Amino acid sequence: MPVDVLSLCFLKGESGELIGVVKLHEQFLKQLMADFLMIQHGDLHSMLHEHAIQEGVRIRYNSKVVEVDSDAVAVTLENGERIVSDVVIGADGFNSLVRTTVIGKKVPETREREVSLTFTIPTDVMREHEDLRSLVENSNWSVWLGDQYLLHGSLVNSGQTFSLMLGYTLPEDGPEYNEEWLDQYPLQHFNLDLQKFEPRVCKMLRLANNITPHIYISRPHLESFVCDQARVVLVGEAAHPLLPSGMHNAALGIEDAQTLGSLFSGVRHRDQVPRLLAAYEELRQSHCIATQDWERRKRNMLTLPVGEAQQQRDLKLRKAMAYPEWEHMNEKSFKAIWGDEIDLFVYDASEKVEDWWTKWGPLLTRASMSRQGELSSLPTSKVG
């Protein structure tokens, strides 16, 4: 039986007209040196949680951190308990407490009018509608490019659910929206101009029982991911918050974890920790900043208003995706449309760490051994 090839289908938002298709077949993925999976955030979280437990990680719930001490490398919990450690990793998200400790001040925030709406529809419900059936009969990733909005949808949950995200700019600030993914509203609450959407999208919006909004609060690029004492480090959205529902949000967090894990797999002594955290920053900071900028540029490109710029974009997309097979599109043609996107996909965190260890590992080991030798040669005194 032939393998179902995942395709990325770009559609006109107002009409549903097909702009072009990128087939993510074996040759495409080989070029990217990656696999391509559709998975809900909650499912990914559950998988990582299970793996962490199997590896012996102790997870404490209802233990809110209220203070981080970078000098003592300690955190204080809401109940007053103080925990001292070798390293504090700030994986506390976009509204990070640890970030303030690392930077030494509150990072300025700008509340934007860009909002992402997420909702799901059971595929059984969609199959009841003839015009929606084709969307759930294959593994395609459908992307509608509309007048100042972007909508994409795909199968998740082993094909039992169709997940959608609509990103657009509010006409004015929506003070009731926040960065959490907790609040839910009916479609009528958002007062969407449904004339901007093709009939199938309008129907899917009406089929959504609840829609979850997420407002975008922008923050400047951080000067550092590591505190001055090199004992507290930021990862994920705490270090590099991106536009909500972007293409690389989860990827950057996983790369951060892979980088730290690979670096610390070679640690031999506590005095190596500051250098390893400095290496983490060296390896990650420029890549994360480049990815943040890429997400911003691509979101702007994919949400152009009706007009000449949108027409030119669609023309370029059609030209770039007119190739039946990946190997017929050369690198020059790809980069003319997608720019440096391929550099993001082929980024290998483990490879970057291996290169670092090859270059600096022997020096780090010698320095640590020398330090331990100095400590062991110090005179000792006996009390008693």
Query: With 80 as the cut, is the pLDDT of residue 371 above it?
Result: no
Is residue 223 in a domain?
yes
Mean pLDDT of the chain: 87
Return d(Cα 119, Cα 141) in angstroms, integer.
15
DSSP 48: H
Three-state SS string over 211-278 comes to EEEEEEEECCCCCCCECCCCCEEECHHHCCCCCCCCCCHHHHHHHHHHHHHHHHCCCCCHHHHHHHHH
Is residue 251 in a domain?
yes
Return d(Cα 351, Cα 317) in angstroms, integer.
32
For residues 202-214, give the mean pLDDT. Answer: 95
Give the pLDDT confidence score for residue 157 in this predicted structure. Answer: 87
Residue 288's domain is classified under what CATH number? Answer: 3.50.50.60
Return d(Cα 201, Cα 181) in angstroms, integer.
22
Is residue 143 in a domain?
no
For residues 304-330, give the mean pLDDT. Answer: 78
Give the pLDDT confidence score for residue 181 in this predicted structure. Answer: 86
Residue 237 identity (one-letter amino acid): E
Instruction: Count structural domains, the chain.
Output: 1
Give the pLDDT confidence score for residue 332 in this predicted structure. Answer: 63
pLDDT in tens, 229-278: 999 999 999 999 988 878 888 889 999 999 999 999 988 888 899 999 99
CA nearest neighbour of 229 among 86, 70, 90, 368:
70
Lowest mean pLDDT among 114-118, 297-301, 371-375: 371-375
pLDDT in tens, 105-151: 999 999 999 999 999 999 999 999 999 999 998 888 999 999 999 99
For residues 198-206, give the mean pLDDT. Answer: 97
Query: Whole domain around residue 68: which residue ranges?
Result: 41-109+219-296+345-366
Is residue 2 in a domain?
no
Return d(Cα 337, Cα 133) in angstroms, integer.
31
Is residue 278 in a domain?
yes
pLDDT in tens, 21-70: 877 767 666 766 666 677 778 888 899 999 999 999 999 999 999 999 99
C-alpha distance from residue 338 to each of 182, 341, 345 (Å): 33, 6, 12
DSSP 228: T
C-alpha distance from residue 61 to each of 35, 216, 344 (Å): 33, 27, 34
For residue 47, how far is the Cα from the chain centroid?
16
Give the pLDDT confidence score for residue 355 in this predicted structure. Answer: 94
Residue 326 identity (one-letter amino acid): W
Label residue 307 by pLDDT band (50, 70, 90). Answer: very high
Structure tokens at 77: 């919990």
Give the pLDDT confidence score for residue 261 in this predicted structure. Answer: 94
Structure tokens at 162: 């169709």
Is residue 162 in a domain?
no
Is residue 232 in a domain?
yes
Give the pLDDT confidence score for residue 366 in this predicted structure. Answer: 72
Is residue 335 in a domain?
no
